[in-house]
Chains A and B, each alone.
Chain A
Amino acid sequence: MQALYAQLLVGLINGSFYALLSLGLAVIFGMLNIINFAHGALYMMGAFVAYFLLNLGGINYWWALLIAPVIVGIFGMILERTMLQWLAGLDHLYGLLLTFGIALIVQGVFQNYFGSSGLPYSIPDQLKGGVNLGFMFLPIYRGWVVVFSLVVCLATWFLIEKTQLGAYLRAATENPTLVRAFGINVPRMITLTYGLGVGLAALAGVLSAPINQVRPLMGADLIIVVFAVVVIGGMGSIMGSIITGFALGVIEGLTKYFYPEASNTVVFVLMVVVLLVKPTGLTGRAA
């Protein structure tokens, strides 16, 4: 029983990454109608930027949490301005293809310069060590990841659902022409939204740098799981993608305990089951 609590907690940690990434995907999808295949590559960039900030600039983890998402977000906005915006009005599948190509380029370039085995990044001193919870040894850093990503997710939800800016965003998604008529610069909003979604991916990357090896391909496999998460949850609502992210992390954690061999496939199996029962996903609007 004690082991079960431990696995639940551990599952939440994994869920944090799923939630942050699927949230970013949902934000981008809502505004641009694009499935951002480059999300995994941008997540990886976040981790690498944190590494460079530390090793070249002497900038610590805490600043990296702020700076890396901004840098990668700006990179994302440049991508949007130079490439993605030309796809407006075309079939959505072109967005998928374009971002897939971008992912290949980014990952390939990083692989050329930094090899495949990756770079070390250690846990900041303030978060080293762990606490004994009685049923498990919880590294402080892991606890931090869960709390911090929950806060970020909720803040994003608040920004989009409860603020004036968010209202514009949602309105522009529904009817861009009308919003433009109110004198709001819709293209700039699209660019900023893409930057925000990408920034969330980079933030997840920084958070994972001390846990996972900082490798060029660290996001490549992860993104497919996140796609399945997104299919399960549907991309209709921000809260939906946050909750599904955490929930699937927990389910995966439990699988690791009860039947570890299937822990990599459980999300996909769940996706199949959900699709058979409810083809639009749990919270999704019909596509």
Chain B
Amino acid sequence: MKNTISAFLLGTAMALSVAGMASADDKVVKIGVLSDQSGLYADLAGPGSTLAAQMAIEDSGLKAKGWTIDLISGDHQNKPDIGTTIARQWFDVDKVDTIVDVPNSGVALAVNNVVKEKNGVYINSGAATSDLTNAQCTPNTVHWTYDTYMLAHATGQALVKAGGDTWFFLTADYAFGAALERDTTAVITANGGKVVGGVKHPLNTADFSSFLLQAQASKAKIIGLANAGGDTTNSIKQAAEFGIVKGGQKLAALLLFLTDVKAIGLETAQGLNFTETFYWDLNDKTRAFSKRFSEKMKSGAPPTMVQAGVYAGLLHYFKALEALGGNPHDGAKVVAKMKTIPTDDPLFGKGEVEANGRVTHDAYLFEVKKPSESKGPWDFYKLVGTVPGNQAFTPLDKSTCALLKK
């Protein structure tokens, strides 16, 4: 009964919106920021992502043009069950059009299915899995900011070109780590480098000394950390203890966020290489945005690349809505429109939304500054190299997305 009512409502809404397009009447949009508000990803996404979404709504200028844009946020607690239940409820009950952010690959993929089923729009910025635009791509999904392929590719390529041609991997022993190691290895060998060894460590390892000893003994120039979160910070911290960087080997973290560097501290993290697609101190535009952002953050922190991706993704979404002249409440249609407009925003610069939903933009290789070089509380990175957007992400002919096989 409930469902027939909601189906009826949805039908009417759709009918209205079809009519509305001509009269440009339906300018009501509802956006849901689904994030991890308390767990592992809360610092790099969480409340900051909600703030970024609010700023995108303000900066789009759509409200002045007669649009009504509502924002709600939710905490998926890193549980796919909770994520999908919230997503369903948002679509069915709260009439949300678009879900953004969603860190944690497991939750992100689960929500991906719901969004497709409900024909909403899904702008993911927080998840690392490249499956979102490959095996599990949908016509409703746009993936901003980063993915495992890009991280592996950009870091691997840049470091091998800079002379780091022998590698040793510390790999987290599960699908995510394996994917990172596989993709990076491919890039290293393609660029003439060599992987001299590696060791798989279990998730949530507290003590990395055994693995670091092996890495040290391998004499590889680069030690690649194909892990995430606490494993990465612990391995970096303990590598410093074992004098690995001082001994001439370089550490390359394949997935690292601004908040992680803050947590490790410059003293320990200095000299570390890794890739991000956004840094607050890149240029005047990013600095201006970050200044406004950190003034509104309780902690005063500048935006992370995930939060920046939420902002940029929504700006692009609003551009598509404006071009459509109203909200069709048809996710696939809006995403199709997003794919026809080139992306251009103050944070990520120019790029495009490819047919598989992947957004391409520049990626940057950074090195963590020495404590003596840092001039402020968040002055952490030195730009080492830039990988152009069209080279950083999975080439379309290698993407396994079914949308491409038409």
Direct contact of A and B (CB under 8 A): yes
| In the assembled complex, B233 has its CB within 8 A of some CB on chain A | yes
A117 touches B202 (CB 8 A): no
A120 touches B200 (CB 8 A): no
A117 touches B43 (CB 8 A): yes
Partner of A122, one of B242, B259, B268: B268
- B-facing residues in A96-125 (Cβ within 8 Å): 111-112, 115-120, 122-123
A120 touches B199 (CB 8 A): no
A263 touches B202 (CB 8 A): yes
Q: Which of A2-10, A194-202, A238-246 contacts its partner?
A: A2-10
Q: Which residue of the partner chain A has the closest CB to B44?
A: A117
Further pairs besides A116-B42, A211-B241: 13, Cβ < 8 Å? A3-B217, A6-B213, A10-B207, A112-B38, A116-B41, A117-B260, A120-B263, A129-B243, A130-B243, A137-B216, A208-B206, A253-B210, A263-B202
B203 touches A264 (CB 8 A): yes
Query: Interface size for chain B: under 10, 10 to 19, 20 to 34, or 35 or more residues?
Result: 35 or more
A142 touches B243 (CB 8 A): no
A120 touches B202 (CB 8 A): no
The answer to whether residues A122 and B265 also contact, given A116-B40, A261-B202 and a CB cut-off of 8 A, is yes
The answer to whether residues A256 and B42 also contact, given A211-B241, A264-B203 and a CB cut-off of 8 A, is no
B202 touches A213 (CB 8 A): no
How far, in angstroms, from A233 to B238 measured CA to CA in the complex?
A: 30
Contact with B along A194-218 (1 / 0, CB 8 A): 0000000000000010111101011
The answer to whether residues A213 and B263 also contact, given A111-B38, A116-B40 and a CB cut-off of 8 A, is yes
A120 touches B206 (CB 8 A): no
| In the assembled complex, A187 has its CB within 8 A of some CB on chain B | no
The answer to whether residues A142 and B209 also contact, given A115-B43, A137-B242 and a CB cut-off of 8 A, is yes
Q: Which residue of the partner chain A has the closest CB to B46?
A: A115
- In the assembled complex, 29 residue pairs joining A and B whose CB atoms fall closer than 8 Å, in A order, are A10-B210, A14-B206, A17-B206, A116-B39, A116-B41, A117-B263, A120-B265, A120-B267, A120-B268, A130-B242, A137-B213, A137-B243, A139-B243, A142-B209, A142-B241, A210-B241, A211-B238, A213-B237, A215-B230, A222-B206, A253-B210, A256-B210, A260-B173, A260-B201, A260-B202, A263-B201, A264-B202, A264-B203, A264-B204
B230 touches A213 (CB 8 A): yes
A116 touches B43 (CB 8 A): yes
